[in-house]
Amino acid sequence: MRYTEVVKVLDFDPISVSDDLSENYIFRVEILKDFSKPEWFQLHVFRLEEYRIAAAGLYSSCRKQSQKIMGEDVALDWQVIKAASAEEALSKFIEEIESVFYIPLNKEDRMIKYHEVVKVIDFEPVTVPKTDSYYRFRVEVIKIFGASGTYRARILSFERFELQPTSPNYDRSAPVILVEKDDEIFAGVEGKTIDEVVQKVLQIIGKLKD
């Protein structure tokens, strides 16, 4: 059976897409290796957008709010890149970004920065007694660009939301999506090693259960 493997996951810092720098795009890029065609790599390009969504289901921890959600940017023609390695595929993607979007003339500002997701962990479901909320957490450990030996945690939770399709031919749905937790308790979790970051997250989750 043919399959592809995700070999790199990269989060990009905001990229200006307007002359006055008033509009920014935030991309996530997944680079996949196609083992049936070693010289080709597939790219899944996602863009962070803010949506107004309503929560659904008994176990969702929030009711109705605006959330930033990563949606695949299918309008971009970057799905397949010919390259000898994942690093070369990334380099070609960045070249394409620089040719399509406005990049400031200042050399320092011109640098497109990205951070690599080096570990992903899903935790067993937990219940927070104080709010009687049910959570399924995912933690992404990210290697910070330009900071040698520094890692940061992004904490997300699986939430069920009701979505209204834009096309009248489709029914409403209530899928489970990943929502980044921006609560103060989750802010600024960093460490010098991947394990240190994971242990700090475990301590935070342990406090929520108390």
Q: Domain ranges for the chain, please list them.
A: 4-209
Instruction: Write down the pLDDT at residue 51.
Output: 63
Instruction: Write down the pLDDT at residue 112.
Output: 81
Instruction: Write down the pLDDT at residue 168.
Output: 64
Instruction: Write down the pLDDT at residue 22.
Output: 64
Q: Cα separation of 55 and 65, whole Å?
A: 8
Task: Write out the two tokens for 58.
Answer: 């008994």
CB 159 within 8 A of CB 62: yes
Quick count: other Cβ atoms within 10 Å of Cβ 116?
14
Instruction: Write down the pLDDT at residue 171.
Output: 66
Task: Write out the two tokens for 193.
Answer: 């090693």
| Per-residue pLDDT tens digits for 106-142 | 545 556 888 999 999 998 888 877 777 788 899 999 9
The CA-atom distances, in angstroms, between 29 and each of 40, 57, 99, 210 are: 16, 30, 17, 37
Q: Cα separation of 206 and 126, whole Å?
A: 9
Q: Cα separation of 66 and 179, whole Å?
A: 11
The residue ranges of the chain whose pLDDT is under 70 are: 1, 17-22, 50-68, 73-78, 102-111, 147, 163-173, 210
90 burial via Cβ count (<10 Å: 0-12, 13-18, 19+): buried
Q: Cα separation of 191 and 149, whole Å?
A: 8
Which residue reads 């000898």 in tokens? Answer: 84
Mark residue 128 as left, alpha or beta (left: phi above 0; alpha: psi -120 to 50; beta: remaining).
beta
The CA-atom distances, in angstroms, between 189 and each of 68, 132, 195, 200 are: 20, 25, 12, 7
Mark residue 69 as left, alpha or beta (left: phi above 0; alpha: psi -120 to 50; beta: remaining).
beta
What does the chain come to in residues?
210
Q: Cα separation of 61 and 206, whole Å?
A: 18
Q: Supply the pTM of this predicted model.
A: 0.76
